[in-house]
Amino acid sequence: MTMTLASVLSKPAGPYDLPLKVKVIMVDKVVDYKNGNGETKQSLDFVVSDSTRIGRVRNYDSSKNSVIKAGNSLIIRNYITKGSGNAKLVITANSKLYKTTEEEAVENAELLAKQELHPPPAPEVTLKDVQRSPMKSLVSIKGQVVQEEMAQTVMAFNKPSTVKGFIIQNDDTKCRVSLWRDLAAKDIKTGDYVSITNVIVGQWNREVSLSSTTSTKIEVLSSLHRHCKTACNIKYTRLL
């Protein structure tokens, strides 16, 4: 007997062997990432559906990518459910995937899948509004980098991860932004005016702060410090 997607995703986070029958609706691009040992690996996000709902899945075993095609119906076993984050199901080297007979999908599955994989950015707010935003809410911001920290390696979810902090200023308000993992290596310098989407509101040293997510995008809108640092009115500092 196979499980429904709705019943599986209602279970507590953890590994499960319950067979799940789903239809692949949409597949995203393969993404490179670095694991805790600094090795470059690949992951693939895709959206599946059955008659009860859709769900986002992340595959960490590239040998399985060939069977993950839009339109394929699959039986999935030995997967991991996640209580938070974008992907609600995780496939690893221990997971089993094999094609099966056609599975029914929910109405408007393709539209829902597109919204799941490529949602519109979170609303843009001022840094003053960030101070009043609920914890764990997603926001987008613009501002000038007025302070830059050195990247550090810290333990996150029992794995070493790289993080780099910045102080962003918008009007008279400043806020700390932490960029995690690959985003920590982005070429952002003190003085850059940046747009940052889909950051999550949290706390750092008892103050409201922002942290990057897997859907965060960063764009440097201008880089005045590289051409006219002496003409700028903001005092720039770099923590060493």
Give me the pLDDT at residue 36, please: 64
Reported as a pLDDT band with limits 50, 70 and 90, residue 153 is: confident
Give me the pLDDT at residue 68, please: 97
| Better-predicted residue by pLDDT, 236 or 129 | 129
Helix or strand or coil: residue 59? strand
Partners of 217 in the beta sheet? 197
Paired tokens of 76: 């999935």
| Better-predicted residue by pLDDT, 240 or 226 | 226
Per-range mean pLDDT, top range of 11-25, 158-172, 213-227: 11-25
CA-based torsion, 67, 73, 77, 78: positive or negative: positive
Check whether 85 has a pLDDT greater than 70. Answer: no
CA distances from 66 to 22, 49, 62, 70 (A): 16, 19, 8, 11
Give the rounded distance of the alpha carbon of 60 from its chain centre.
15
CA dihedral 211, 34, 59, 10 (to 10 degrees): -30
Cite the beta strand spans of the chain per DSSP E. Answer: 14-16, 20-34, 40-49, 54-59, 73-77, 79-81, 89-91, 96-99, 138-148, 152-156, 159-170, 173-180, 192-204, 207-223, 237-238
CATH 2.40.50.140 placement within the chain:
5-117, 127-238
Domain 127-238: CATH class, spelled out? mainly beta
In CATH, the number for domain 5-117 is: 2.40.50.140
Helix or strand or coil: residue 172? coil
Q: Judge whether 110 and 116 are in contact, CB under 8 Å.
A: no
Reported as a pLDDT band with limits 50, 70 and 90, residue 223 is: confident
Give per-residue pLDDT as tens, 12-52: 889 999 999 999 999 999 988 777 677 788 999 999 999 99
Q: Is the pTM of this model over 0.75?
A: no
